[in-house]
Structure 1
Amino acid sequence: MRVLVVEDDPVHAKAAVRVVGPLGHDIIEAGDGEEAVRLLRSQPVDLVVLDWLLPRMSGFEVLYWIRRNLGDVPAVLFLTNKVLDDDIVLAMEAGADDYLVKPFRVGELTARVNALLRRVTHDLERTDHIRAGDYTLDPLGRTVALRGERIDLTPKEFDLTALFFNNLGKLLSRKVVSISTWGRELDPASRTLDTHVYRVRQKLALAPENGLRLSAVYTHGYRLEEVPSKSPRSAVSDQNVLPCN
């Protein structure tokens, strides 16, 4: 399998390569975020070992680009000096598969690389389609269908929808949603995020009768979750969902 090591510090890069190389995988290296994206555009990669603090384009921006343009593969392992719990949570919620703090132990990095590559192999054997409720999301074709009928979405609306479908049942903070979809944290006074969430909810007809519910959790964020299907009449009387406005 192919592993991309993205690290601007030659010492740390060499250390990571020394661990991954003997595992029998092909290794390519990038010294900054922009070079990493160029390589990812030009050739398939199964795992990215990624530093956060990179020149030109941060590791978090590279992660955002990967998840928006390539989907769930490659797997992404952050290997970084950032140790705050908030940083780790932010990275994992935005799509990182694992997180390891420098300096790392050789045995631990070896185990985590092997585990992620086993997961990638398993995922590649499964269908790419995501099914939830009465919906089917095709990440490669960038389409969503409700009971087989395709729903027209703008590119940004699809990105937002894919984020929710890939994190079904999870509470996603406004910060994570905005960074994952727009690549930056939006101004708290802006209504851009709320407007896009509202449009996605309306276009997809997200409601219990279709098996999914998109809830706004006040001051926190949003959660897309599966619910038992209901008839349209009974769904009207359901007062437990805080609508996304």
Structure 2
Amino acid sequence: MSILMVEADVAQAAKTERVLHSCGHDVIKVTRGESAVRFLKYNAVDLVIFDWQVPGMSGFDILHWIRSHLGVEPPFLFLTRSIPEVEIVHALEAGADDYVIKPFDTAGLAARVNALLLRAQRNSKPVQSIRIGAYVLDPTQRNISFQGTAVKLTTKEFDVIACLFDNAGRIVSRALLEKLAWGKTLDGGSRTIDTHIYRLRRKLQLRPENGARLTTFMRTATDWMILASLAPQ
């Protein structure tokens, strides 16, 4: 697999490159966001690994350029030493696929990278649209329509609703939703999933009269999780 690494720290770049080479991946190294954009304009890669504090274009700038010009691929993994949790949430909602905190464990980084590449390979396989009630979800184009009108969702909102549609009629636990939509287990105190569920209810008008019902289950405070099932009516 071909991986573009954007990292200005020479020692950090060498460490990351060793991990990626040990997994059998080819690595293209640049030190600035502008160089990454120039490269991606003419070359395809399977994954982008980006130091959030790299000089030049900010992490949000490069992420926005990739998603605006290249779509949902390639996957985007960012590395950071210190970034507020709210910015991490914003980055994930803007289209980042995962992140790793420095200093990182080499085995952990390898696992994250391989998981993202595997998920990208699975997503590249042709799939059919899913129709439930007044909704049509197209996994290939990554869009959903309600009564024939497209509904604008963020990248992660689409990932969440796609997981629920793909498991229509079955209960989807919080843990499973985290793994399917985020590719990892989120922090125990995070309200990210709850926020996404709330937004999807509002944006998609998920009510029985529209042909689908989104049901939330809660357990005790000591063992709390959200269990959502999206079932055809």
Which TM-score applies when normalising by structure 1?
0.59
Distance in 1, Cα, partners of 2:3 & 2:126: 21
Question: How many percent of aligned residue pairs carry the same amino acid?
Answer: 42
| Number of the residue aligned with 1:46 | 46
- The 5 A counterparts of 1:67-216 are 67-127=67-127, 134-136=134-136, 151=149, 160-161=152-153, 163=155, 164-168=157-161, 171=195, 208=207, 209-211=209-211
Classify 1:140/1:22 alpha carbon distance in 2 versus 1 (closer, same or farther; 3 Å). same
Secondary structure of the corresponding residue to residue 92 of structure 2: helix
Classify 1:29/1:212 alpha carbon distance in 2 versus 1 (closer, same or farther; 3 Å). farther
TM-superposed CA distance for 1:101, in Å, is: 1.0
TM-superposed CA distance for 1:6, in Å, is: 1.0
Distance in 1, Cα, partners of 2:130 & 2:68: 16
Letter in 2 for 1:39: F
Secondary structure of the corresponding residue to residue 56 of structure 1: coil
Classify 1:228/1:22 alpha carbon distance in 2 versus 1 (closer, same or farther; 3 Å). closer
CA contact (8 A) 1:134 1:146 kept: yes
CA contact (8 A) 2:93 2:154 kept: no
CA contact (8 A) 1:132 1:165 kept: no
Classify 1:137/1:65 alpha carbon distance in 2 versus 1 (closer, same or farther; 3 Å). farther
Question: Deviations 1:60-89 (Å, cap 9, x if unpaired)?
Answer: 221222233333321111111124332332
| Number of the residue aligned with 1:235 | none
Distance in 2, Cα, partners of 1:89 & 1:49: 17
TM-superposed CA distance for 1:210, in Å, is: 4.2
TM-superposed CA distance for 1:207, in Å, is: 6.9
Question: Deviations 1:198-222 (Å, cap 9, x if unpaired)?
Answer: xxx7xx9x67454579xxxxxxxxx
Distance in 2, Cα, partners of 1:24 & 1:67: 26
Classify 1:229/1:108 alpha carbon distance in 2 versus 1 (closer, same or farther; 3 Å). closer
TM-superposed CA distance for 1:5, in Å, is: 0.5
Counting matched residue pairs gives 185
Letter in 2 for 1:124: S
Secondary structure of the corresponding residue to residue 13 of structure 1: helix
Which TM-score applies when normalising by structure 2?
0.61
Question: Deviations 1:140-199 (Å, cap 9, x if unpaired)?
Answer: 76976556x5x5x8xxxx8x4464434438525xxxx9xxxxxxxxxxxxxxxxxxxxxx
Classify 1:75/1:210 alpha carbon distance in 2 versus 1 (closer, same or farther; 3 Å). same
Letter in 2 for 1:78: F
TM-superposed CA distance for 1:100, in Å, is: 0.8
Structure 1: any 5+ residue segments left out of the alignment?
Answer: 178-200, 214-224, 231-245
Q: Superposition RMSD on alpha carbons, in Å?
A: 3.7
| Number of the residue aligned with 1:183 | none
Question: Deviations 1:36-60 (Å, cap 9, x if unpaired)?
Answer: 1222222222111111112221112
Question: Deviations 1:117-143 (Å, cap 9, x if unpaired)?
Answer: 111111112438676753446587697
Letter in 2 for 1:37: V
Distance in 2, Cα, partners of 1:228 & 1:25: 41
Distance in 2, Cα, partners of 1:123 & 1:142: 10
| Number of the residue aligned with 1:60 | 60
CA contact (8 A) 1:71 1:139 kept: no
Letter in 2 for 1:24: G
